[in-house]
Structure 1
């Protein structure tokens, strides 16, 4: 009994500390079940025969790789459709967990709204790092680039209205959540693993971020169990019907012109069968500018609008929500972890309700 009392006391103390960090009253989360698993991927067997006395040789041994890693939590009273979260470039499932300054991220926010939550590490990233292709990870200093690219500001200055916490500790936590690829990023490999997840868990809503959005479109094409798609700040991977790909959008960003990707019309039309919403944050240029980070995301936002128009032209239900235009200001490339992430999440929750995805 003494040990149990100590555990309860410690848990209470930690909850109180966390609630103070949140600066809002939090009720305990009640989780009915949680766990993790790998899904998708491939396997191979090396030539030869395995010899237990020569176990360091690959002969006859197997290799499993290119799977995704999923961590899930199911609340006590869960809604019918789970939410599946896929991160972007240089990130992992940490994107959706606690924010850099220790507040609740989308993981807990939506658990509190009674959604089951699945957090993914895509193939060749994070806890799914076993890649079937070789790669060299180089410790190149690049964090001030990411600060600027992700629109926290133009380093070392923060944007005046930015919703990113400005303390040194939060910025260090943000830098430390950067996660390298253990093999080349391949959207088809990622989408295959995501599709395998939906085959395993059934229908759900796919929520993607940045680089993960392109793989998200492919997953939605591949699997009808993807009931809806939410995309936060996609940049590359916009798919258009063959013959309808728009001209490249140029910008002063560091990655050159932004191009659409052609897919068969029959594949594209599968995206018109489910509701889609795309979100973009603040400090994005309204017209071409030499401020390269703001102009980079201008091209992404413009391409997103063209993409949504193409979806709706073919009978779909898609929209772009530019957060400043709906009264939500100051968001970076990571609105799910900004200081106003609860407001951002509530906007998404309202969209889920509007589309009948919250039953």
Structure 2
């Protein structure tokens, strides 16, 4: 059980000393292209034309990771923060309404943090299509985000947005949030998994906190190297390993926390929620300690899919921190 003090407590703003801020790229491979036609481009107005040759060696499928190491970390293990689909590590940085995000929250709480931009996202960069990536990119519209992320039940053709009456997402900052969206590809999961596995191998032992699409990569990463992951925090996970093809006995003793918000209605979210319960039950049967939290059942209502951006996100972070303190001593 998590006490009332943990629900209300939150670290003071920016009360920590930083030892090091840095970044690295990890994963990926060199790809060679040849036989493609050259073209002439003017890079900048007034500059002479330049012949650009698209052939040669290129880096592709790498991932970007930014880390912040504290002078005196209170937590035994660093915290890896993995974002969801069509998003980047900005998910955990400053919130769309300008408040500090979960990266700063957990730095305040004493954790070294590693925030990633997965393969094809943000500062990881992306590669040529169709020469390297085998599928076309796709993009998330504002309408899809509003409804799918459960900020509100409808988004009209005229752009009129209807929020849930109890919505905790800062709707006035929705347009700021959608500026974060980046293209994604449906064909790069294997390369993304390899990059995440390489990050775990480089950084861990650690704790992995993952959101939405990122959760499946986290679940598979711990199956690959269970000795390196000391706890898993799954924030509204949307994908899971196939229970018929994995050995969950390898995860015995690794604590898992699942958290879901409100308004889990409709075929998509009802199925995701049911699949999460099914996977959590299988973990429990394999002797992995599991805590499954549906926030409305605890009297916390109105949370969207973007729990780390909602106006009560510090309350949710305090639940995570309290659980980690109890389970990673």
**Would you call these one fold, judging by a TM-score over 0.5?**
yes
Name the counterpart of 2:86.
90
User: Which of 228, 235, 239 is 1:236 aligned to?
Assistant: 239
Q: Secondary structure at the match of 1:178?
A: coil
Q: Secondary structure at the match of 2:274?
A: helix
In 2, distance between residues paired with 1:218 and 1:26? Answer: 34
- Spell out the pairing of 1:141-290 with structure 2 (5 A cutoff): 142-155=141-154, 156-167=161-172, 170-181=173-184, 183-224=185-226, 225-240=228-243, 242=244, 263-265=245-247, 268-285=248-265
User: Which of 304, 307, 331 is 2:276 aligned to?
Assistant: 304
2:286 aligned with 1:318: no
In 2, distance between residues paired with 1:264 and 1:342? Answer: 35
Unaligned 5+ segments in structure 1 are 1-23, 49-53, 243-262, 286-291
Structure with more relative contact order (C-alpha pairs < 8 Å, separation 6 or more): 2
Change in CA separation of 1:47 and 1:151 when aligned onto 2, cut-off 3 Å: closer
2:59 aligned with 1:64: yes
In 2, distance between residues paired with 1:141 and 1:124? Answer: 15
In the TM superposition, what is the alpha-carbon distance from 1:264 to its structure 2 partner?
3.5
- Per-residue Cα deviation, 1:133-188 (whole angstroms, up to 9, x for no partner): 145446x6721121000000112211111101132xx111111111112x435333
Change in CA separation of 1:218 and 1:141 when aligned onto 2, cut-off 3 Å: closer
- Per-residue Cα deviation, 1:246-295 (whole angstroms, up to 9, x for no partner): xxxxxxxxxxxxxxxxx143xx322334111111001124xxxxxx3xx4
- Per-residue Cα deviation, 1:285-344 (whole angstroms, up to 9, x for no partner): 4xxxxxx3xx42122111111111111112221232111112322110011110001100
Normalising by structure 2, what TM-score? 0.82
In the TM superposition, what is the alpha-carbon distance from 1:190 to its structure 2 partner?
1.7
In 2, distance between residues paired with 1:264 and 1:33? Answer: 38
- Per-residue Cα deviation, 1:101-155 (whole angstroms, up to 9, x for no partner): 01111000000011000001111111112334145446x6721121000000112
Query: Conserved in 1, the CA contact under 8 Å of 2:133 and 2:188?
Result: no
- Spell out the pairing of 1:123-142 with structure 2 (5 A cutoff): 123-131=119-127, 132-137=132-137, 142=141
Query: Conserved in 2, the CA contact under 8 Å of 1:217 and 1:239?
Result: no
Query: Conserved in 2, the CA contact under 8 Å of 1:133 and 1:184?
Result: no
In the TM superposition, what is the alpha-carbon distance from 1:55 to its structure 2 partner?
9.0
Change in CA separation of 1:284 and 1:342 when aligned onto 2, cut-off 3 Å: same
In 1, distance between residues paired with 2:261 and 2:34? Answer: 51
User: Which of 25, 28, 31 is 1:41 aligned to?
Assistant: 28
In 2, distance between residues paired with 1:136 and 1:307? Answer: 31
Name the counterpart of 2:314.
342
Name the counterpart of 2:77.
81
Displaced runs of 4+ in structure 1, greater than 6 A?
A: none
Change in CA separation of 1:172 and 1:47 when aligned onto 2, cut-off 3 Å: closer
Normalising by structure 1, what TM-score? 0.76
Name the counterpart of 2:107.
111
In 1, distance between residues paired with 2:208 and 2:14? Answer: 27
Query: Conserved in 1, the CA contact under 8 Å of 2:15 and 2:108?
Result: no
RMSD value, Cα: 2.3
In 1, distance between residues paired with 2:14 and 2:147? Answer: 36
In 2, distance between residues paired with 1:238 and 1:195? Answer: 15
Counting matched residue pairs gives: 293
Query: Conserved in 1, the CA contact under 8 Å of 2:28 and 2:59?
Result: yes
- Per-residue Cα deviation, 1:4-44 (whole angstroms, up to 9, x for no partner): xxxxxxxxxxxxxxxxxxxx973454211101110111223
2:303 aligned with 1:331: yes
